[in-house]
Every structure is written in structure tokens, then in C-alpha cells.
Copies of this chain bind each other. A is one copy, B any other.
Amino acid sequence: MRFTAETPSNGIVERDFHLGEIPGVLWSPAKAAPGAPLVLMGHGGGLHKKTPAMAARARETVATWGFHVVAIDAPGHGERPRTDEDDQARDDMRRAMTAGDKERFKDVSIRYISGITKRAVPEWQATIDALQGWPAIGAGAPVGYGGGVSMGTAIGIPLTAADPRIRAAIFGGGFFVYDELVEAARRITVPVQFLLPWDDEHVDRQSSLDLFDAFASAEKTLHASPGDHRRIRWAGVDDGFLARHLS
């Protein structure tokens, strides 16, 4: 892991890094407590590790709870090159959308997202390894998945199922649910907070409810509000969820 820039402001230090080919950003309290938790945030499809809404949420998490927050560019996103398959899938999605072919749009989206997910899970695990190997964070730091709706959750679910270091996870709807995701959800037993946009224009509501139903967690909460995943205004969601489970 190579740190390439360090920008302090308002008590928060933003560090850019590269882990092999993966560009990432780590937000930390200027004076982090030893053993402070590490929260992973996954951006949505077509976005990147410093997408303003997510970066704002990351900074708020650092400022409010004193946690470290890390984001990485997903494969083919942000600073990373896209493969020919990525470009093809994005073209196909655009064409299906323009043609109003909802079934095709869904099929292509699932193929694209599930491919990214398979590459992203080991990258996240390597990121946890690297950050827990960095003395300022350390091996004992509790890890949580801090969500993101859409692709951030499509990646977070198999990651949380695969990695026992993740002790609690915030997930959210806004993507097409496919069988492998439901199977991964069935293997998750840590506390889950699931944010559901009630009126997603593309995603069938029932598929998201089935996904929530699949989590094996004794503590899981569903929070739904009107709106789709781009325009939702969350109200009344428990901001202390990660703090309760990681502190």
C-alpha cells in the first residue's frame, strides 16, 4: 500500500493510496483513537470512490464517531481502466434503456454487476489486510460495511458473507437482485441495516424484500422511505447502527 497524498482539513485527514492497481481513499480523524473501527464504503454503479454524496457521508462518520472510513474504486470505475467487456456491457445497458427494453436492461445489468462483484470482493479483502497491517489502524480494528445503495451493496453482500472480520453491515436496495446475492445473504449472520427505496423505478420491490428476508442475522432492520435510489430522502434511519456494533 502506497500513500500518494495526505490532505488534512477540519480535524479529518484524507489520504489517497494505491494498493497495487487499486486506487483508494482513507478518511481518518486527525487524532484517531487506538483501535478505532474501520468502515468500508462502496460507491454505486458508474460512480467512484470520492463521489460527493458518499464522501460527505464518510466525513460525517469520521467526525461523529471517530472511525476510519475507506473507499476504493470498483473495477472499471473512477481512475481504473475499463475492459472491453465493461465497455460492451455499458453500451448494451444504454441501448436497452433507450429502447425501453426492461428485461434486457435487467439481464445486462446483472451480468455487468455480478462480474464486477467477483473482482471486487478479493480487492476489498486485500484492502482490509493492508489497512489492518498499517500500524495506525492495526489488526484489531473492528470492521463494518458502511453501505451505499445500488452496486455498493451488490459488492458488500458477498464480501460480508465471505469475510468474518466484518461485524456489521449497512446495505441498501436499488439494484437488480440475482440468485447468488440471495445465497450470499443467507450466509450473513452479523447485524444488518437494510435501506430500501420504496419506489425504485427499475427494481421490483418484492425482490429487495426477498433479499432482506434472506439475511440469517438475528438483528436485521429494514428501513424504507418513498423515492427511488437516486432521489430518496432518508428520514428516521438509525445513525448509531455501526457505532453500536463496532465500538
Contact = CB atoms under 8 A, between A and B. Distances in A.
Contact of A236 (B193, B198, B209, B224): B193
Contacts of A6: none
Interface stretch (A131-139, A155-163, A215-223): A215-223
Contacts of A221: 223-225, 235-237
B225 A236 contact: no
Contacts of A240: 236
A185 to B, nearest CB: 14
A241 interface: yes
Interface string A56-75: 00000000000000000000
A219 B236 CA distance: 10
A238 interface: yes
A226 interface: yes
Interface string A181-222: 000000000010100101000000000010011000011111
A75 to B, nearest CB: 32
A159 to B, nearest CB: 22
A237 B238 contact: yes
**Most chain B beta carbons < 10 A, residue from A191, A209, A240:** A209
Contact of A223 (B191, B222, B226, B233): B222
Contacts of A238: 235-238
Contacts of A213: 198
B235 A225 contact: no
Given A219-B235, A235-B219, A237-B238, A212 B226 contact: no
Interface of A: 191, 193, 196, 198, 209, 212-213, 218-226, 233, 235-238, 240-241
Given A221-B224, A236-B241, 20 more contacts: A191-B235, A196-B222, A198-B213, A212-B224, A218-B226, A219-B225, A219-B226, A219-B235, A220-B226, A221-B223, A221-B235, A221-B236, A221-B237, A222-B222, A222-B224, A223-B223, A223-B236, A224-B224, A235-B238, A236-B238
Which 9 A-B pairs give the minimum distances between C-beta atoms? Answer: A236-B238, A222-B224, A221-B236, A221-B225, A221-B235, A219-B235, A236-B241, A223-B223, A220-B226
